[in-house]
Chains A and B, each alone.
Chain A
Amino acid sequence: NAGVMQNPRHLVRRRGQEARLRCSPMKGHSHVYWYRQLPEEGLKFMVYLQKENIIDESGMPKERFSAEFPKEGPSILRIQQVVRGDSAAYFCASSPGTGATFNYGYTFGSGTRLTVV
């Protein structure tokens, strides 16, 4: 059973370009969470999605950032017109549900390291 898969592992973008980060949850998981880790900092929650729904985007910057989790395919975190401050590691995690169904560790993908030059 494959874990949470993120790609690409490393992504380099020039200022002003778009970055697309992909996250494939564990098999059977319908909940996806995105976190951002700025250099030398801990992880910060960005957004929580269920299939075709954004449940909580309270941690997402209001501009340039968007996320989706379509019925088919991976979850996508999209950053438009990237700036140097967007350089960070972006981690995705998944779970089968919430509350009582969550009975094991919170498993993260290996992350995507975005570098904006």
Chain B
Amino acid sequence: AQKVTQAQTEISVVEKEDVTLDCVYETRDTTYYLFWYKQPPSGELVFLIRRNSFDEQNEISGRYSWNFQKSTSSFNFTITASQVVDSAVYFCALSASGGYQKVTFGTGTKLQVIP
């Protein structure tokens, strides 16, 4: 069975601070995909990143960066110089790479960026 744990329920930071959202996963699959999604107060789900399990290179996209550590089954997400618009619930998710994309989501981390 697959499981995604986001231990941080809520985080508050002051604008311009860096913040890291933790994600730990469990899976028996040898290959799999990891995702991060953003859910702003408006409620839609915004895709941020997909990472294949055989690609452990860290990724940076503007103020966003992701640290994938297969040895510790973690896929952490860092926002640098946070902004008020980053306030949202962030979900980490996992799916097998073969077959269809049934995705297992974590419970989410609510990030509040205070001006």
Q: Check A17 for interface membership: any CB of B closer than 8 A.
A: no
- Using a CB-CB cutoff of 8 Å, which residues 22-74 of chain A contact chain B? 31, 33, 35, 41-45, 48, 55-56
**Residues 100 to 117 of chain A near chain B (Cβ within 8 Å):** 102, 104-108, 110-111, 113
Asked if A99 is at the interface of the complex by the 8 Å CB criterion, the answer is yes
B115 lies within 8 A of chain A by Cβ: no
Mostly helix, strand, loop or mixed at chain A's interface? strand
Task: List residues of B (27-82) whose CB comes within 8 Å of A's CBs.
Answer: 35, 37, 43-45, 47, 49-50
Report how many residues on chain B are interfacial, defined by Cβ distance under 8 Å: 24
User: Closest residue to A102 on the B side, CB-wise?
Assistant: B101
Nearest B residue to A98 by beta-carbon distance? B100
Tell me which of B47, B91, B93 has the highest count of chain A C-beta atoms within 10 A of its own C-beta.
B47
Instruction: Give, as a whole number of angstroms, the nearest-CB distance from B93 to chain A.
Output: 8
**What are 15 inter-chain pairs, A to B, with CB distance below 8 A?**
A33-B103, A41-B107, A41-B108, A42-B91, A43-B91, A45-B103, A48-B102, A55-B100, A95-B101, A105-B47, A106-B35, A106-B50, A106-B103, A107-B47, A113-B43
- Seen from chain B, the residues whose Cβ lies within 8 Å of a Cβ on chain A are 4, 35, 37, 43-45, 47, 49-50, 91, 93, 95, 97-108
